[in-house]
Amino acid sequence: MHSVSWSVPGKSIVDNVDFTVHSGRTVGLIGPNGSGKSSLLRCVAGLRKPTAGVIRFDGNDIDGWTPRKIAQHLAFVEQAGDTDSDLRVAEVVALGRTPFRPGWRAPGGNDHAIVEAALERLDLTELRDRHWQTLSGGERQRAHIARALAQQPWAILLDEPTNHLDIRHQLELLDLLARTEQTVLVALHDLSLAARFCDRLVLLHQGELVATGAPGEVLTARLLREVFEVDAEVGQDSAGNLAVVYRGTAERVSPVGVAPAGPGGTPR
Helix (H) or strand (E) holding 7: strand 2-8
The candidate with the shortest Cα–Cα distance to 172, out of 130, 124, 127, is 124
- Under the binding rule (CB under 6 A), the answer on residue 37 touching ligand ATP is yes
Given 1, 15, 30, 39, the residue binding ligand ATP (CB under 6 A): 39
- Under the binding rule (CB under 6 A), the answer on residue 191 touching ligand ATP is no
Compute, in degrees rounded to 10, the torsion defined by CA atoms 176, 178, 184, 186.
90
For ligand ATP, which stretch binds (CB under 6 A), given 35-43, 96-104, 123-131, 165-173?
Answer: 35-43
In sequence order, the 6+-apart residues with CB closer than 8 A to the CB of 127 are: 89, 119, 135, 139, 143
For ligand ATP, which stretch binds (CB under 6 A), given 26-34, 52-60, 102-110, 191-199?
Answer: 26-34
For ligand ATP, which stretch binds (CB under 6 A), given 33-41, 165-173, 194-202, 221-229?
Answer: 33-41
From the CB of 144, what's the least distance to ligand ATP, in Å?
16
From the CB of 240, what's the least distance to ligand ATP, in Å?
29
- Under the binding rule (CB under 6 A), the answer on residue 153 touching ligand ATP is no
- Under the binding rule (CB under 6 A), the answer on residue 31 touching ligand ATP is yes
Helix (H) or strand (E) holding 215: helix 215-218
- Under the binding rule (CB under 6 A), the answer on residue 97 touching ligand ATP is no
Give the C-alpha separation, 205 to 209, whole Å: 6
Tell me whether residue 149 is exposed, middle or buried, using C-beta atoms within 10 angstroms of its C-beta: 0 to 12, 13 to 18, 19 or more.
Answer: buried
Given 33, 110, 238, 254, the residue binding ligand ATP (CB under 6 A): 33
- Under the binding rule (CB under 6 A), the answer on residue 36 touching ligand ATP is yes
DSSP 8-state symbol, 265: S
Which chain residues interact with ligand ATP by CB under 6 A? 8, 11, 13, 31, 33-39
